[in-house]
Amino acid sequence: MRFWRLAIQRLKQNWTWLKWPVALLLLAYLFYSNRHDLARLAAGPISWFYLVVAFVLCTGAMMLTFYRWYLLVWAQDFPFTLRDALRLGYIGYLWGYVAPGSAGGDVVKAVMIAHEQKSRKGVAAATVLLDRILGVLALFMVGALATFFQDQRLLHNGVIRFCVALLWTGSAGGVVGLIVMLHPAFPRSRILRRLVRLPKVGRLIGGLVNAVLLYQQRRAVLVVTVLISLVGHFATLSSFYYCALAINAGNAAPNYWTQLLLIPIAELFAFIVPVPGGIGVLEGGVGKCYGLANEALGVVGVTAAQAVGAGVAAALANRMATIIIVAIGAGYYMTARSEIGQALTESGEPKSSAT
Protein backbone atom coordinates (compact mmCIF):
# COMPACT_ATOMS: atom_id res chain seq x y z
CA MET A 1 0.00 0.00 0.00
CA ARG A 2 2.82 2.37 0.84
CA PHE A 3 4.39 1.74 -2.57
CA TRP A 4 1.18 2.68 -4.38
CA ARG A 5 0.67 5.78 -2.24
CA LEU A 6 4.20 6.92 -3.03
CA ALA A 7 3.71 6.14 -6.73
CA ILE A 8 0.48 8.17 -6.88
CA GLN A 9 2.10 11.04 -4.98
CA ARG A 10 5.08 11.03 -7.35
CA LEU A 11 2.74 10.97 -10.35
CA LYS A 12 0.86 14.02 -9.04
CA GLN A 13 4.14 15.85 -8.49
CA ASN A 14 5.36 15.18 -12.02
CA TRP A 15 2.07 15.43 -13.92
CA THR A 16 2.79 19.06 -14.83
CA TRP A 17 5.33 17.96 -17.42
CA LEU A 18 4.08 14.38 -17.93
CA LYS A 19 0.64 15.35 -19.23
CA TRP A 20 1.98 16.63 -22.55
CA PRO A 21 3.93 13.43 -23.39
CA VAL A 22 0.88 11.38 -22.38
CA ALA A 23 -1.40 13.45 -24.64
CA LEU A 24 1.01 13.20 -27.58
CA LEU A 25 1.41 9.45 -27.06
CA LEU A 26 -2.37 9.05 -27.16
CA LEU A 27 -2.49 11.05 -30.36
CA ALA A 28 0.34 9.02 -31.88
CA TYR A 29 -1.46 5.79 -30.99
CA LEU A 30 -4.62 7.02 -32.73
CA PHE A 31 -2.64 7.96 -35.83
CA TYR A 32 -0.95 4.58 -35.93
CA SER A 33 -4.01 2.41 -35.26
CA ASN A 34 -6.09 4.30 -37.85
CA ARG A 35 -3.29 5.05 -40.30
CA HIS A 36 -4.88 3.33 -43.31
CA ASP A 37 -8.27 5.03 -42.96
CA LEU A 38 -6.68 8.40 -42.18
CA ALA A 39 -4.45 8.08 -45.25
CA ARG A 40 -7.45 7.20 -47.43
CA LEU A 41 -9.42 10.20 -46.20
CA ALA A 42 -6.42 12.51 -46.56
CA ALA A 43 -5.96 11.38 -50.16
CA GLY A 44 -9.57 12.17 -51.01
CA PRO A 45 -11.11 15.55 -51.84
CA ILE A 46 -11.59 18.11 -49.05
CA SER A 47 -14.50 20.55 -48.98
CA TRP A 48 -13.01 23.84 -47.85
CA PHE A 49 -16.47 25.38 -47.65
CA TYR A 50 -17.53 22.98 -44.90
CA LEU A 51 -14.21 23.55 -43.12
CA VAL A 52 -14.88 27.30 -43.12
CA VAL A 53 -18.39 26.64 -41.77
CA ALA A 54 -16.89 24.52 -38.97
CA PHE A 55 -14.35 27.25 -38.18
CA VAL A 56 -17.07 29.91 -38.00
CA LEU A 57 -19.17 27.69 -35.71
CA CYS A 58 -16.19 27.06 -33.40
CA THR A 59 -15.40 30.76 -33.26
CA GLY A 60 -18.99 31.73 -32.58
CA ALA A 61 -19.31 29.12 -29.84
CA MET A 62 -16.17 30.41 -28.10
CA MET A 63 -17.37 34.01 -28.29
CA LEU A 64 -20.70 32.97 -26.77
CA THR A 65 -18.80 31.28 -23.94
CA PHE A 66 -16.98 34.54 -23.18
CA TYR A 67 -20.23 36.52 -23.38
CA ARG A 68 -21.97 34.09 -21.02
CA TRP A 69 -19.28 34.63 -18.41
CA TYR A 70 -19.43 38.38 -18.97
CA LEU A 71 -23.16 38.37 -18.11
CA LEU A 72 -22.53 36.36 -14.94
CA VAL A 73 -19.87 38.83 -13.79
CA TRP A 74 -21.88 41.88 -14.89
CA ALA A 75 -24.88 40.67 -12.87
CA GLN A 76 -22.72 40.94 -9.73
CA ASP A 77 -22.27 44.70 -10.32
CA PHE A 78 -18.54 44.40 -10.89
CA PRO A 79 -16.77 46.98 -13.08
CA PHE A 80 -16.27 44.48 -15.88
CA THR A 81 -16.47 45.03 -19.63
CA LEU A 82 -16.95 42.67 -22.55
CA ARG A 83 -13.35 43.35 -23.53
CA ASP A 84 -12.25 42.16 -20.08
CA ALA A 85 -14.23 38.95 -20.57
CA LEU A 86 -12.59 38.42 -23.95
CA ARG A 87 -9.12 39.08 -22.55
CA LEU A 88 -9.40 36.83 -19.50
CA GLY A 89 -11.41 34.23 -21.40
CA TYR A 90 -8.72 33.88 -24.05
CA ILE A 91 -5.99 33.72 -21.43
CA GLY A 92 -7.84 31.02 -19.49
CA TYR A 93 -8.63 29.05 -22.62
CA LEU A 94 -5.06 29.23 -23.86
CA TRP A 95 -3.66 28.28 -20.46
CA GLY A 96 -5.83 25.17 -20.19
CA TYR A 97 -5.26 24.19 -23.81
CA VAL A 98 -1.66 25.04 -24.55
CA ALA A 99 0.40 26.15 -21.55
CA PRO A 100 1.81 23.17 -19.60
CA GLY A 101 1.35 24.89 -16.22
CA SER A 102 0.06 23.36 -13.01
CA ALA A 103 -3.08 25.50 -13.00
CA GLY A 104 -6.05 24.83 -15.25
CA GLY A 105 -7.66 27.46 -17.43
CA ASP A 106 -10.60 27.99 -15.10
CA VAL A 107 -8.30 28.34 -12.10
CA VAL A 108 -6.24 31.00 -13.88
CA LYS A 109 -9.41 32.89 -14.86
CA ALA A 110 -10.68 32.73 -11.28
CA VAL A 111 -7.35 33.92 -9.86
CA MET A 112 -7.05 36.78 -12.32
CA ILE A 113 -10.58 38.13 -11.94
CA ALA A 114 -10.23 37.87 -8.15
CA HIS A 115 -6.98 39.82 -8.47
CA GLU A 116 -8.76 42.53 -10.46
CA GLN A 117 -11.97 42.67 -8.40
CA LYS A 118 -10.46 43.18 -4.98
CA SER A 119 -13.71 44.24 -3.28
CA ARG A 120 -15.30 40.75 -3.43
CA LYS A 121 -12.63 38.31 -4.51
CA GLY A 122 -14.55 35.18 -3.53
CA VAL A 123 -17.66 36.20 -5.46
CA ALA A 124 -15.61 37.14 -8.53
CA ALA A 125 -13.83 33.78 -8.55
CA ALA A 126 -17.13 31.95 -8.02
CA THR A 127 -18.51 33.32 -11.29
CA VAL A 128 -15.98 31.10 -13.11
CA LEU A 129 -17.25 28.03 -11.25
CA LEU A 130 -20.88 28.89 -12.01
CA ASP A 131 -19.98 29.52 -15.65
CA ARG A 132 -18.48 26.03 -15.88
CA ILE A 133 -21.50 24.45 -14.18
CA LEU A 134 -23.93 26.11 -16.60
CA GLY A 135 -21.80 25.07 -19.56
CA VAL A 136 -21.77 21.41 -18.53
CA LEU A 137 -25.52 21.51 -17.84
CA ALA A 138 -26.20 22.84 -21.34
CA LEU A 139 -23.99 20.12 -22.84
CA PHE A 140 -26.07 17.46 -21.07
CA MET A 141 -29.28 19.13 -22.24
CA VAL A 142 -28.26 19.25 -25.91
CA GLY A 143 -27.36 15.55 -25.84
CA ALA A 144 -30.61 14.68 -24.08
CA LEU A 145 -32.64 16.69 -26.58
CA ALA A 146 -31.01 14.80 -29.45
CA THR A 147 -32.47 11.49 -28.20
CA PHE A 148 -35.87 12.50 -29.61
CA PHE A 149 -34.47 12.41 -33.16
CA GLN A 150 -32.70 9.04 -33.13
CA ASP A 151 -33.20 5.82 -35.06
CA GLN A 152 -34.63 3.29 -32.59
CA ARG A 153 -31.97 0.77 -33.60
CA LEU A 154 -29.38 3.10 -32.14
CA LEU A 155 -31.09 3.14 -28.75
CA HIS A 156 -31.04 -0.67 -28.55
CA ASN A 157 -27.28 -0.60 -28.08
CA GLY A 158 -26.39 -1.08 -24.40
CA VAL A 159 -23.54 1.45 -24.33
CA ILE A 160 -25.64 4.08 -26.07
CA ARG A 161 -28.54 3.46 -23.67
CA PHE A 162 -26.13 4.11 -20.80
CA CYS A 163 -25.01 7.34 -22.46
CA VAL A 164 -28.63 8.43 -22.90
CA ALA A 165 -29.35 7.68 -19.24
CA LEU A 166 -26.28 9.69 -18.21
CA LEU A 167 -27.33 12.67 -20.34
CA TRP A 168 -30.88 12.71 -19.01
CA THR A 169 -29.75 12.22 -15.40
CA GLY A 170 -27.26 15.07 -15.72
CA SER A 171 -29.85 17.33 -17.36
CA ALA A 172 -32.55 16.62 -14.79
CA GLY A 173 -30.13 16.91 -11.88
CA GLY A 174 -28.74 20.18 -13.21
CA VAL A 175 -32.14 21.77 -13.75
CA VAL A 176 -33.33 20.70 -10.30
CA GLY A 177 -30.10 22.03 -8.79
CA LEU A 178 -30.57 25.34 -10.57
CA ILE A 179 -34.14 25.64 -9.27
CA VAL A 180 -33.01 24.81 -5.73
CA MET A 181 -30.17 27.32 -5.99
CA LEU A 182 -32.63 30.09 -6.82
CA HIS A 183 -34.84 29.27 -3.84
CA PRO A 184 -34.54 31.93 -1.09
CA ALA A 185 -33.78 29.30 1.58
CA PHE A 186 -30.82 27.83 -0.33
CA PRO A 187 -28.04 30.21 0.86
CA ARG A 188 -29.04 29.61 4.49
CA SER A 189 -29.13 25.79 4.30
CA ARG A 190 -27.23 23.72 6.84
CA ILE A 191 -25.38 21.76 4.15
CA LEU A 192 -23.96 24.92 2.61
CA ARG A 193 -22.81 26.20 5.99
CA ARG A 194 -20.81 23.00 6.38
CA LEU A 195 -19.40 23.17 2.87
CA VAL A 196 -18.22 26.74 3.42
CA ARG A 197 -16.07 25.51 6.32
CA LEU A 198 -14.26 22.94 4.16
CA PRO A 199 -10.52 23.56 3.67
CA LYS A 200 -9.29 24.90 0.31
CA VAL A 201 -12.67 24.87 -1.50
CA GLY A 202 -14.74 26.43 1.30
CA ARG A 203 -13.80 29.97 0.34
CA LEU A 204 -14.86 29.42 -3.27
CA ILE A 205 -18.14 27.85 -2.18
CA GLY A 206 -18.73 30.80 0.13
CA GLY A 207 -18.19 33.15 -2.78
CA LEU A 208 -20.67 31.16 -4.85
CA VAL A 209 -23.26 31.42 -2.07
CA ASN A 210 -22.80 35.20 -1.90
CA ALA A 211 -23.11 35.38 -5.67
CA VAL A 212 -26.34 33.35 -5.59
CA LEU A 213 -27.92 35.91 -3.26
CA LEU A 214 -27.69 38.51 -6.01
CA TYR A 215 -28.59 36.08 -8.80
CA GLN A 216 -31.81 35.31 -6.95
CA GLN A 217 -32.82 38.90 -7.62
CA ARG A 218 -31.79 38.58 -11.27
CA ARG A 219 -33.08 35.19 -12.30
CA ALA A 220 -33.43 36.31 -15.91
CA VAL A 221 -29.64 36.51 -16.19
CA LEU A 222 -29.25 32.81 -15.36
CA VAL A 223 -32.01 31.88 -17.80
CA VAL A 224 -30.32 33.86 -20.56
CA THR A 225 -26.92 32.31 -19.80
CA VAL A 226 -28.40 28.80 -20.02
CA LEU A 227 -29.95 29.67 -23.40
CA ILE A 228 -26.61 31.09 -24.58
CA SER A 229 -24.93 27.88 -23.45
CA LEU A 230 -27.41 25.77 -25.42
CA VAL A 231 -26.79 27.78 -28.59
CA GLY A 232 -23.04 27.62 -28.04
CA HIS A 233 -23.01 23.84 -27.62
CA PHE A 234 -25.22 23.38 -30.66
CA ALA A 235 -22.62 25.36 -32.61
CA THR A 236 -19.68 23.39 -31.19
CA LEU A 237 -21.26 19.99 -31.82
CA SER A 238 -22.42 21.06 -35.29
CA SER A 239 -18.83 21.91 -36.14
CA PHE A 240 -17.93 18.21 -35.76
CA TYR A 241 -20.67 17.33 -38.24
CA TYR A 242 -19.37 19.83 -40.79
CA CYS A 243 -15.82 18.61 -40.29
CA ALA A 244 -17.04 15.11 -41.21
CA LEU A 245 -18.63 16.59 -44.35
CA ALA A 246 -15.40 18.47 -45.13
CA ILE A 247 -13.31 15.29 -45.17
CA ASN A 248 -16.01 13.44 -47.16
CA ALA A 249 -16.49 10.75 -44.53
CA GLY A 250 -19.75 9.69 -46.20
CA ASN A 251 -21.67 6.85 -44.54
CA ALA A 252 -18.80 6.30 -42.09
CA ALA A 253 -20.04 9.37 -40.19
CA PRO A 254 -23.35 9.29 -38.27
CA ASN A 255 -26.10 11.75 -39.16
CA TYR A 256 -26.39 15.16 -37.55
CA TRP A 257 -28.62 14.26 -34.60
CA THR A 258 -26.67 11.11 -33.79
CA GLN A 259 -23.50 13.17 -33.49
CA LEU A 260 -25.32 15.63 -31.21
CA LEU A 261 -26.24 12.68 -29.01
CA LEU A 262 -22.86 10.95 -28.79
CA ILE A 263 -20.18 13.64 -29.03
CA PRO A 264 -21.21 15.29 -25.71
CA ILE A 265 -20.12 12.05 -24.03
CA ALA A 266 -16.74 12.25 -25.79
CA GLU A 267 -16.38 15.89 -24.69
CA LEU A 268 -17.22 15.04 -21.08
CA PHE A 269 -14.69 12.23 -21.09
CA ALA A 270 -12.05 14.56 -22.54
CA PHE A 271 -12.85 17.11 -19.83
CA ILE A 272 -12.38 14.53 -17.05
CA VAL A 273 -9.04 13.10 -18.25
CA PRO A 274 -6.33 15.60 -17.18
CA VAL A 275 -4.46 16.15 -20.44
CA PRO A 276 -4.09 19.55 -22.13
CA GLY A 277 -7.24 20.40 -24.05
CA GLY A 278 -8.29 16.73 -24.04
CA ILE A 279 -5.71 16.08 -26.77
CA GLY A 280 -5.90 12.46 -27.88
CA VAL A 281 -8.80 11.70 -25.55
CA LEU A 282 -11.37 13.72 -27.48
CA GLU A 283 -10.23 12.32 -30.83
CA GLY A 284 -10.37 8.77 -29.50
CA GLY A 285 -13.77 9.41 -27.92
CA VAL A 286 -15.26 10.77 -31.15
CA GLY A 287 -13.85 7.79 -33.06
CA LYS A 288 -15.43 5.44 -30.53
CA CYS A 289 -18.77 7.24 -30.93
CA TYR A 290 -18.65 6.84 -34.71
CA GLY A 291 -17.84 3.16 -34.27
CA LEU A 292 -20.73 2.66 -31.84
CA ALA A 293 -23.18 4.30 -34.23
CA ASN A 294 -21.91 2.17 -37.11
CA GLU A 295 -22.28 -1.00 -35.05
CA ALA A 296 -25.77 -0.14 -33.78
CA LEU A 297 -27.15 0.89 -37.17
CA GLY A 298 -25.44 -1.81 -39.20
CA VAL A 299 -24.29 0.56 -41.94
CA VAL A 300 -23.82 -1.39 -45.17
CA GLY A 301 -20.43 -1.14 -46.85
CA VAL A 302 -18.68 0.58 -43.94
CA THR A 303 -16.65 -1.37 -41.39
CA ALA A 304 -16.38 -0.39 -37.75
CA ALA A 305 -12.69 0.41 -38.25
CA GLN A 306 -13.53 2.78 -41.10
CA ALA A 307 -16.12 4.52 -38.92
CA VAL A 308 -13.62 4.92 -36.09
CA GLY A 309 -11.04 6.32 -38.50
CA ALA A 310 -13.59 8.80 -39.86
CA GLY A 311 -14.41 9.92 -36.32
CA VAL A 312 -10.75 10.46 -35.47
CA ALA A 313 -10.24 12.40 -38.72
CA ALA A 314 -13.30 14.61 -38.11
CA ALA A 315 -12.12 15.32 -34.57
CA LEU A 316 -8.63 16.18 -35.84
CA ALA A 317 -10.11 18.62 -38.36
CA ASN A 318 -12.12 20.18 -35.55
CA ARG A 319 -8.97 20.31 -33.42
CA MET A 320 -7.13 22.24 -36.13
CA ALA A 321 -9.93 24.80 -36.29
CA THR A 322 -9.78 25.18 -32.51
CA ILE A 323 -5.99 25.52 -32.51
CA ILE A 324 -6.22 28.39 -34.99
CA ILE A 325 -8.73 30.18 -32.75
CA VAL A 326 -6.57 29.58 -29.67
CA ALA A 327 -3.51 30.86 -31.55
CA ILE A 328 -5.33 34.16 -31.94
CA GLY A 329 -5.60 34.26 -28.16
CA ALA A 330 -1.84 33.81 -27.89
CA GLY A 331 -1.52 37.58 -28.40
CA TYR A 332 -3.57 38.19 -25.27
CA TYR A 333 -1.46 35.68 -23.36
CA MET A 334 1.88 37.12 -24.44
CA THR A 335 0.85 40.68 -23.56
CA ALA A 336 -0.43 39.62 -20.14
CA ARG A 337 2.27 37.23 -18.90
CA SER A 338 3.47 39.60 -16.19
CA GLU A 339 -0.13 40.15 -15.11
CA ILE A 340 -0.70 36.40 -14.84
CA GLY A 341 2.50 35.90 -12.88
CA GLN A 342 1.62 38.65 -10.41
CA ALA A 343 -1.92 37.35 -9.91
CA LEU A 344 -0.79 33.75 -9.35
CA THR A 345 1.99 34.82 -6.98
CA GLU A 346 -0.39 36.84 -4.83
CA SER A 347 -2.85 33.91 -4.73
CA GLY A 348 -0.21 31.47 -3.55
CA GLU A 349 0.53 29.75 -6.89
CA PRO A 350 4.21 29.46 -7.84
CA LYS A 351 5.18 32.23 -10.21
CA SER A 352 7.06 29.75 -12.39
CA SER A 353 3.72 28.33 -13.51
CA ALA A 354 3.03 31.52 -15.42
CA THR A 355 6.18 31.42 -17.53
Q: Give tens-digit pLDDT for 167-187.
A: 999 999 999 988 888 888 777
Distances (CA, A) of 14 to 2, 3, 200, 327, 344: 18, 16, 21, 27, 20
Q: Where are the domains of the chain?
A: 20-346
Question: Could you tell me the CA-to-CA distances from 38 to 67, 186, 205, 286, 334 in Å, in that order?
Answer: 36, 52, 46, 14, 35
Question: Residue 261: is its pLDDT beyond 70?
Answer: yes
**Mean per-residue pLDDT of the chain:** 83
CB count, 10 Å around CB of 346?
12
Q: Long-range pairs for 149-154 at CB < 8 Å and ≥24 separation?
A: 149/257, 150/257, 150/258, 150/261, 151/258, 151/297, 153/296, 153/297, 153/298, 154/258, 154/261, 154/293, 154/296, 154/297
User: Taking 70 as the threshold, does the pLDDT of residue 164 lie above it?
Assistant: yes
C-alpha pair distances (Å), 8 with each of 12, 34, 270: 6, 32, 21
Please state the rounded mean pLDDT for residues 75-101.
79
pLDDT tens digits for range 286-335: 999 999 999 998 888 888 899 999 999 999 999 988 888 877 776 666 66
Tens of pLDDT, residue by residue over 108-149, are 888 888 888 877 888 888 888 889 889 999 999 999 999 999
Max intra-chain CA distance, the chain: 63
Asked if pLDDT for residue 2 goes beyond 70, the answer is no
The Cα–Cα gap between 5 and 2 comes to 5
Is 60 exceeded by the pLDDT of residue 3?
A: no
pLDDT greater than 50 at residue 79:
yes
Please tell me the pTM assigned to this model. Answer: 0.85
Q: What is the pLDDT of residue 219?
A: 85
What is the tens place of the pLDDT at every residue in 41-74?
888 889 999 999 999 999 999 999 999 999 999 9
Give the pLDDT of residue 242.
Answer: 96
Q: How confident is the model at residue 275 (pLDDT cuts 50, 70, 90)?
A: confident
